[in-house]
């Protein structure tokens, strides 16, 4: 009998990925058997952390293996910041085409060119300083990312120097939604394409980055997306988590009662569990699982907590006629460069808006084609 091959995939350092003006390190993880045109998630660690620790503890590896997507991890160097924080408060590192922001963009470009990553299905998530840098990337490169997750972070351009970074973090800065929205829009002046959807996570007892920042971040991204700051629904989730959903599920806010500063994880073998509890990885709820589903990485509905993905029957063929915007929101399609593409088949459906309608037929798990 042939022995079962061992898993060969591992977190791998990458050099020569671009001019790297921000002097960052790049790591990649590609699960065994990763197909061509796979999605990718960029991960940004917090202060005093590194790429390896975030990869090992955050829980994202489980879902990358399970649902076949790549991970790209940026790593700060102590030469740039003594606490290894991404420099989210430095204008030179958070402006399109400059510094650390450009270095992270170059990592995505490298993955697209060398790993065959789907350019319309690139996502980003980060904690604390990494979460603040997620906000910067969504503002400066909305044409690169389909969605992002800001964990214990702050709005884009909340601070523009070391001096005002601390007051931005705690207690936070209060601006109107329009003021926050203008700051984000100025990250890429003149951009008129589709904007990424955003998930925001924050513990109510976070005294490092004040919980008020969750509301300010919500105000920024709802304004950028042109939707109301009033949630359309509020849902109670495990570990004292409240999920607020905003128009079209374009923005989500997760508030975790009593949680301090860190990435929410939930160690265990359950379908919705992940990660390892450690410093700044707090045993509450698996944020990677929720974000992966929100990004559309686990299928349109996600796995059943009780059904095995290897034995579950294939989905019954389904035809849906809806606007391209509705298809993208429901996970049947994705957007890139102002156009909508059918999930799985990548067939171009036309403009990403509420006026253009398309009929899609489901032919497999998270695989849709035009027509019925």
Q: Which of 219, 284, 288 lies closest to 257 in space, CA to CA?
A: 284
CA distance 231 to 253: 9
Query: With contact defined as beta carbons under 8 Å apart, do 229 and 175 qualify?
Result: no
Number of Cα atoms under 13 Å in the Cβ half of residue 266: 18
Angle between helices 177-185 and 129-140 (to 10 degrees): 70
pLDDT at 271: 95
CA distance 60 to 30: 12
Q: What is the pLDDT of residues 181-224, one digit of tens each?
A: 999 999 999 999 999 999 999 999 999 999 999 999 999 999 99
Using CB atoms within 10 A of its CB, is residue 94 exposed (0-12), middle (13-18) or buried (19+)?
buried
- Residue position matching structure tokens 């939707």: 227
Query: With contact defined as beta carbons under 8 Å apart, do 58 and 278 qualify?
Result: no
CA-derived radius of gyration, the chain? 19
What is the average pLDDT value for the chain, to the nearest integer?
90
Query: With contact defined as beta carbons under 8 Å apart, do 155 and 185 qualify?
Result: no
Q: What is the pLDDT of residues 251-294, one digit of tens each?
A: 999 999 999 999 999 999 999 999 999 999 999 999 999 999 99
Which residues are designated catalytic?
128
Number of Cα atoms under 13 Å in the Cβ half of residue 243: 17
Among 36-50, 127-141, 177-191, 347-361, where is mean pLDDT lowest? 347-361
SS3 83: coil
CA distance 77 to 71: 19
Banded pLDDT at 365 (limits 50, 70, 90): low
pTM, entire model: 0.80
CA distance 259 to 226: 30
């Amino acid at each position: 009998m042939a022995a079962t091959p061992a898993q060969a995939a591992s977190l791998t350092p990458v050099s020569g990925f671009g001019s790297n003006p921000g002097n960052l390190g790049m790591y990649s993880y590609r699960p065994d058997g990763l197909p061509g045109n796979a999605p990718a998630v960029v991960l940004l660690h917090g202060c005093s952390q590194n790429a390896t620790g975030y990869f090992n503890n955050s829980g994202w590896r489980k879902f990358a293996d399970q649902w076949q997507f790549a991970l790209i991890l940026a790593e700060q160097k102590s030469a740039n910041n003594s606490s290894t924080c991404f420099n989210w408060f430095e204008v030179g590192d958070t402006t399109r085409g400059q510094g650390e922001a450009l270095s992270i963009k170059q990592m995505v470009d490298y993955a697209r060119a060398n790993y065959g990553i789907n350019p319309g299905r690139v996502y980003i998530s980060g904690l604390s300083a990494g979460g603040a840098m997620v906000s910067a990337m969504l503002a400066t490169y909305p044409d690169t990312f389909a969605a992002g997750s800001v964990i214990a972070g702050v709005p884009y351009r909340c601070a523009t120097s070391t001096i005002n970074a601390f007051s931005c973090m705690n207690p936070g800065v209060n601006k109107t939604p329009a003021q926050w929205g203008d700051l984000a829009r100025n990250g890429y002046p003149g951009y008129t394409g589709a904007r990424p959807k955003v998930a925001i996570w924050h513990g109510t007892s976070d005294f490092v980055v004040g919980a008020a920042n969750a509301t300010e971040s919500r105000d920024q991204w709802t304004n950028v997306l042109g939707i109301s700051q009033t949630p359309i629904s509020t849902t109670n989730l495990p570990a004292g988590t409240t999920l607020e959903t905003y128009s079209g599920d374009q923005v989500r806010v997760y508030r975790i009662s009593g949680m301090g500063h860190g990435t929410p994880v939930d160690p265990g073998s359950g379908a919705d569990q992940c990660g390892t509890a450690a410093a700044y990885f707090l045993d509450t709820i698996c944020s990677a699982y929720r974000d992966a589903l929100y990004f559309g990485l686990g299928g349109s509905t996600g796995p059943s907590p009780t059904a095995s993905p290897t034995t579950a029957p294939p989905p019954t063929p389904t035809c849906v006629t809806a606007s391209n915007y509705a298809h993208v929101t429901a996970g049947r399609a994705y957007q890139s460069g102002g156009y909508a593409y059918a999930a799985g088949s990548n067939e171009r459906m036309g403009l990403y808006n509420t006026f253009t309608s398309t009929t899609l037929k489901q032919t497999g798990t998270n695989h849709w084609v035009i027509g019925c």
